[in-house]
């Protein structure tokens, strides 16, 4: 899936000259965590998070009276504390790439651009929601894990076993086991009514199924 399909396009923006008091009011009013800062030419020049606002709020709060604090917050503007080096993505960025970028830069939101124009924003919550949907987590499904050698045909072997038993795979993920070079873990979900049959069928075909956390996974390795 691509970012352009799930990004938020109803953007809440502010100018660099917006006061912190007004910025906080917008954050509270719209229940959002980020404000995009655009200049008079409608170009993205910064981003401000609710966390940034709270951190600035806290720094003078202990030494100023309420009246003094409110006065200060009316004088301080967004451009004084906003992040100017903004990490952005395009509408053609994949959801998994967006998740990787967020982890790499330790950020929780990405403005979305088309050429030089700001067209949307996506947050870590949006990314996680799509990934959870792709994984297929639900009360109606059961998670099964198997380990296979990292070689041609292993995926087909497992899926064919389930196919012959008439069991539908709802979702599938694979990743290498770092502690065991050459071994890949396959995690897939099947419908809850099919889970017992799936486990039995896989075991009968020499494919050991892991159903929970195991400190020692060696008994499950091929």
CATH code (residue 36): 3.10.580.10
Query: Are residues 99 and 149 both part of a single domain?
Result: no
Query: Are residues 7 and 116 both part of a single domain?
Result: yes
The whole domain housing 62 covers 3-131
Where among 65, 99, 131 does a domain terminate? Answer: 131
Where among 131, 166, 188 does a domain terminate? Answer: 131
Query: Are residues 154 and 190 both part of a single domain?
Result: yes
Query: Are residues 111 and 168 both part of a single domain?
Result: no
Domains identified in the chain, total number: 2
Consecutive H or E run containing 37: strand 34-38
* pLDDT for the residue 1: 86
Q: Give the pLDDT confidence of 133-177 residue by residue, as tens digits.
A: 877 776 688 999 999 999 999 999 999 999 999 999 999 999 999
Where among 66, 100, 131 does a domain terminate? Answer: 131
Over residues 88-103, the mean pLDDT reads 95
182 Ramachandran zone, left/alpha/beta (phi>0; psi -120 to 50) = left
Over residues 1-13, the mean pLDDT reads 93
Query: Are residues 142 and 78 both part of a single domain?
Result: no
Query: Are residues 104 and 64 both part of a single domain?
Result: yes
Q: What is the DSSP letter of 209?
A: P
Query: Are residues 181 and 105 both part of a single domain?
Result: no
CATH code (residue 163): 3.30.70.260
Per residue in 71-97, is it b (16+ CB within 10 Å) or e — as a string?
Answer: ebbeebbbbebbeeebeebeeebebee
Query: Are residues 112 and 47 both part of a single domain?
Result: yes
Confidence tier at 92 by pLDDT (50, 70, 90): very high
């Amino acid at each position: 899936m691509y970012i352009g399909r799930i990004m938020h396009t109803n953007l809440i923006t502010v100018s660099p000259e917006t006061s912190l008091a007004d910025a906080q009011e917008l954050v509270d009013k719209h229940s959002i965590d980020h404000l995009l800062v655009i200049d008079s030419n409608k170009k993205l020049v910064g981003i401000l998070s609710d966390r940034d606002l709270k951190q600035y709020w806290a720094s003078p709060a202990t030494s100023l009276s309420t009246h003094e604090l409110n006065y200060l917050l009316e004088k301080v503007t967004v451009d004084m504390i906003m992040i100017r080096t903004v990490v952005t993505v395009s509408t053609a960025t994949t959801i998994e790439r967006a998740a990787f970028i967020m982890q790499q830069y330790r950020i929780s939101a990405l403005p979305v651009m088309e050429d030089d124009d700001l067209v949307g924003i996506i947050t870590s919550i949006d990314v996680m929601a799509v990934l959870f949907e792709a994984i297929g987590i639900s009360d109606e499904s059961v998670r099964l894990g198997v380990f296979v050698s990292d070689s041609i045909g292993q995926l087909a072997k497992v899926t064919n076993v389930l196919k012959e038993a008439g069991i539908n795979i709802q979702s599938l993920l694979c990743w290498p086991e770092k502690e065991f070079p050459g071994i890949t873990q396959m995690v897939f979900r099947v419908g809850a009514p099919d889970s017992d049959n799936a486990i039995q069928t896989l075991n009968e075909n020499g494919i050991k199924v892991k159903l929970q956390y195991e400190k020692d996974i060696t008994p499950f390795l091929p």
